[in-house]
């Protein structure tokens, strides 16, 4: 028997291959794959997993009623992720307490009540986990969107980051926003009361540029050095650029100069995912690499000063 724990990974939509490749690289044994669900031995916090079922177990069931009784006896809240036996799974789901599917207004904290996940692995067997890595159903955060004010949908990446962290820039903190146009991220930061130096080769949406605390500079994020702006509370980058350049020219420079307290940067991947490059970001002490709900072929690298210092 393997000493590695049984784990179920839910791949981010469209990134099943990336998840499988990354798990294999990190020594996880893949046992079986059903659509986006990967049953495996070994825990690795792959960024390509939208959710991780941490303590899964198989539970034989003789009937729909028995499945309902068992799930209810464990806890109240459950998310079905059906990959097969859809009608039978739906019959079970209908008899479980409803889980609120209302979009989250930005600013409200992530849910704290435990949310388990389950599926019918075969007709008479549940695969169940009461403990998952995400507090959100299938790891997807569904916000009450603002379709009027932000000039791009990229604002959702920062809303999700701050919701997952349970914190974000405080009023008056200084933020650098590299690759800021048309201004979705700058809009989020300025709406939170932060001061923003925004940099892009393109202009910002004039409504965002006119917000209190926003200073836009036309130019390259790679040309800006710490001595030009001094120490910043947050360094953000959503620049369309090669991950190597982001890491070697921006991140290392600002880290080595101790010129940014917190970092949130999008790692834009092209073609086949460079897992070694993703790992290089992950290995910076205190780092977390996530696939946010609205990320496409890109990941979000987060490094908070307090976690960095604790990890050193």
Ligand X SMILES: C[S@@+](CC[C@H](N)C(=O)[O-])C[C@H]1O[C@@H](n2cnc3c(N)ncnc32)[C@H](O)[C@@H]1O
In whole angstroms, what is the distance from residue 46 CA to residue 10 CA?
10
For residue 205, give the DSSP letter.
P
Q: What is the smallest separation between the CB atom of 294 and ligand X, expressed in angstroms?
A: 11
Comparing CB distances to ligand X, the nearer of 174 and 188 is 188
- C-beta of residue 118 within 8 angstroms of C-beta of residue 128: yes
Comparing CB distances to ligand X, the nearer of 170 and 202 is 202
Q: What is the smallest separation between the CB atom of 142 and ligand X, expressed in angstroms?
A: 19
**Count of beta carbons in the 10 Å neighbourhood of residue 80:** 18
Comparing CB distances to ligand X, the nearer of 97 and 193 is 193
Q: Which residue is nearest to ligand X (CB)?
A: 184
Comparing CB distances to ligand X, the nearer of 216 and 308 is 216
Nearest to 208 by CA among 220, 218, 196: 196
Q: Write out the residues near ligand X by the rule CB under 6 A.
A: 152, 154-155, 178-185, 199-202, 220-222, 238-241
Name the region of 219 (left: φ>0; alpha: ψ -120 to 50; beta: rest): left
Residue 307 backbone phi and psi in degrees, to 5:
-75, -35
Q: What is the smallest separation between the CB atom of 21 and ligand X, expressed in angstroms?
A: 25
Comparing CB distances to ligand X, the nearer of 61 and 250 is 250
Q: Which residues pair with 11 in a beta bridge?
A: 49
Length of the chain: 312
Q: What is the smallest separation between the CB atom of 182 and ligand X, expressed in angstroms?
A: 5
Comparing CB distances to ligand X, the nearer of 116 and 184 is 184
Q: What is the smallest separation between the CB atom of 302 and ligand X, expressed in angstroms?
A: 15
Q: What is the smallest separation between the CB atom of 102 and ligand X, expressed in angstroms?
A: 25
Comparing CB distances to ligand X, the nearer of 38 and 292 is 292
**Residue 223, exposed/middle/buried by CB under 10 A (0-12, 13-18, 19+)?**
exposed
Helix (H, G, I), strand (E, B) or coil at 75: coil
Q: What is the smallest separation between the CB atom of 177 and ligand X, expressed in angstroms?
A: 7
Spatial CB neighbours of 155, under 8 Å, sequence gap ≥ 6? 146, 184, 185, 187, 188
CA geometry: angle 245, 51, 49, nearest 5 deg: 40
């Amino acid at each position: 028997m393997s000493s590695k724990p049984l784990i179920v990974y839910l791949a981010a939509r469209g990134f099943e291959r990336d998840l499988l490749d990354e798990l294999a690289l990190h020594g996880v044994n893949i046992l079986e794959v059903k659509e986006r669900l990967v049953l495996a031995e070994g825990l690795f916090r792959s960024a390509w997993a939208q959710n991780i079922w941490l303590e899964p177990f198989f539970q034989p069931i003789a009937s729909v009623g028995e499945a309902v009784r068992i799930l209810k006896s464990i806890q109240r809240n459950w998310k079905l992720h059906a990959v097969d036996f859809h009608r039978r799974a739906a019959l079970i789901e209908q008899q479980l307490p409803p889980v609120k599917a209302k979009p989250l207004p930005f600013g409200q904290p992530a849910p704290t009540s435990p949310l388990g996940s389950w599926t019918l692995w075969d007709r008479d067997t549940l695969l169940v986990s009461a403990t998952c890595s995400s507090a959100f159903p299938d790891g997807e955060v569904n916000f009450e969107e603002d379709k009027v004010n932000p000039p791009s949908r990229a604002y959702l990446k920062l809303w999700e980051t701050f919701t997952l962290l349970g914190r974000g820039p405080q009023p008056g903190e200084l933020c650098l926003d590299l690759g800021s146009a048309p201004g979705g991220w700058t809009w989020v930061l300025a709406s939170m009361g932060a001061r923003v130096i925004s940099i892009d080769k393109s202009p910002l949406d004039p409504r965002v540029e006119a917000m209190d605390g926003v200073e836009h500079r036309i130019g390259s994020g790679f040309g800006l050095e710490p001595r030009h702006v001094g120490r910043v509370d947050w360094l953000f980058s959503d620049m369309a650029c090669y991950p190597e350049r982001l890491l070697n020219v921006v991140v290392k420079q600002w880290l080595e100069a101790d010129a940014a307290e917190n970092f949130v940067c999008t790692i834009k991947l092209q073609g086949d995912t460079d897992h070694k490059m993703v790992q290089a970001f992950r290995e910076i002490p205190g780092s977390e690499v996530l696939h946010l709900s609205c990320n496409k072929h890109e990941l979000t690298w987060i490094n908070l000063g307090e976690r960095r210092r604790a990890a050193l």
